[in-house]
Structures are given as structure tokens and as C-alpha cells.
Amino acid sequence: MKTLATISLTLFLYLSMWASGQPAPPASSGCRLTFSAPSSALTAVEQVRLDLVSGTWQCENVSVYAARVHVLQFGENGYAYWLTGEGGAPGECLRYSWTLVEEKGKVYLYLRNNQTERAFSLESTCEGLNLQEQGTATVLAFRFQQAISTDSLARIVKQLTGKWEHSPTAPDIFVEEGLCATREQAISAVFRYSFRPDGTFSKGLHSDELGIDLIDEGRWRLSGDGKYLLLERFEADAPYVETIQIKYLNLDELVLCQIPAFNRAVASRASRDLFFNKI
């Protein structure tokens, strides 16, 4: 009886929509709405642009040598961030300016910085997008990942804003030009981050024992999924962006995974988790 009532109600709704001249809702295709139901009011370039900035894009390219992960994030400010790495996590990040061009009914993506210019044919798919760089046969199939809400990002930014301190306890910390520290020297050092509300940051390593006080400054932002810190130095047109994974964040406790090739201020010989306290 319950099943019969359900069928009758469904039939009634469809007949009501037919009688009013409204089409019945289409069956779900399982695809992204942007792909399955594009807006007829937008050009192809406008449609792709809205799609690109609405989330992050991830691709795992497996070869006989390694499984390489790519993560792309497009900003409405005209900059794109391309993170690449191995072992399932991004390790290097490059910043580009990005533009879209339509040629002969096809959309192309152009990425530029002060070191290179790259051009890709772009094809939207049910699950994401395919990028093929001109001059290559490799197609990178990216899957779409919805960005977390603006409110969620704002909460993470609010939690991160402030000063954080880590006291190194391992001898593998080194500074410019490979200057090494012993365990005793490392214990005396203090490593600090300062994330300011205006989007700027400073980080530094201070040690009376070593007689050093190194400071780096720039701008900081979060990846669209809120999982990574992207640090850009103030140097003009610098394409390299430092990538730091946020492993844990709660009140005055923060755990960051420092990626190799840290930069001028302080580096670790391998990826390692660093514990910070808010001060």
C-alpha cells in the first residue's frame, strides 16, 4: 500500500508539471553540474573560467618511475598555483599568471611567469578536466574537488593569524649555504612564524649560540582545500612558492609538515613535522 501511494504521488507530480508546461526534472547523470548543464548565457571561456576558480584540481600521473601528484588552484586575482610532488602529497609549488583563449571552438589555457610560458589545450570532463601541453603527447586528467566554504577558510585564517614558535631539538637544522648546527646549538635556537591579518608573514631563526638572526618576509595564503600554506616572498615575480602542509591546528597548537628545500631562512634535510605553540 505504501509503495502504491508513493508511485501515485510521483505520477501526480509529473502530470502536474506536464499540465503546467514545465519539463520534468532530468535524471542525474552523476557528472558535475557545470559539465552536464552548462549555462547558455555564458561564452565557452566564461564558463570554463567560473569552473576553474570554483575548486581545486588534482591529478595523479603514474609512470614506471613514480606516482606524481599534481594539484592546481586558480585564483580570481589572475594567479594560478601548480603544486607537484610524489608520495601522494605536493612538494613544490610554482605560481603563474593564467589566461584563457578560445580558438576555433576550443579553449586553451596559458600559464606564464618570469621563467616560462606554457600552453595547454583544455577539455572539460564529467569528473574534471583534461590538460594537454602543446608539444607533448601526455594528457593530465584532473579531478575536480570542491573548495571548502568561505566561512571555513576564514576560520582557519583566524586561527593561524598570530605568532608561532618552535624550538628545534635535532641537529639536522641548517641555514644559508649549508651552515650546520650541532644538537646543543639547535636546542638553543628558536624558529618563529608570524602570520599577520593583512596577509603578510615573517619567519625567522634566531640563535645566540650560533650568532644568527635570519628573517624572511612575504605574503601568505591557504590552498582552496585549507590543507596547505602557500608562502610567497616579496621578491618581484618570484615563481617559486613555499608549500607547507597543515597537519594539525587547534587553539594554540600547530603542526606543520616542512617540505624539503625549505628556503633561505632554515631548512630540513627531509620532510618532517614541526610542532609550534602560539605565543
Q: pLDDT tens digits for the chain (279 residues)? A: 444 444 344 433 333 433 444 444 444 456 887 777 778 888 999 999 999 998 899 998 766 666 788 999 998 889 999 988 776 565 678 999 999 999 988 999 999 998 899 999 999 999 999 999 999 998 999 999 888 888 999 999 999 999 998 866 544 444 433 555 555 655 567 788 999 999 999 988 777 666 666 788 999 999 888 888 888 888 756 678 888 889 999 989 999 886 544 343 444 444 568 888 998
Give the helix ranges, DSSP H, for the chain.
2-19, 33-36, 44-52, 150-160, 183-187
What's the CA gap between 261 and 264, in Å, rounded? 9
Which domains occur in the chain, in start order? Answer: 33-146 (2.40.128), 150-278 (2.40.128.280)
CB hemisphere CA count around 256 (13 angstroms)? 20
**Claim: this prediction has a pTM higher than 0.85:** no
pLDDT at 19: 40
pLDDT at 233: 84
The answer to whether 241 and 257 are in contact (CB under 8 A) is: no
DSSP 1: -
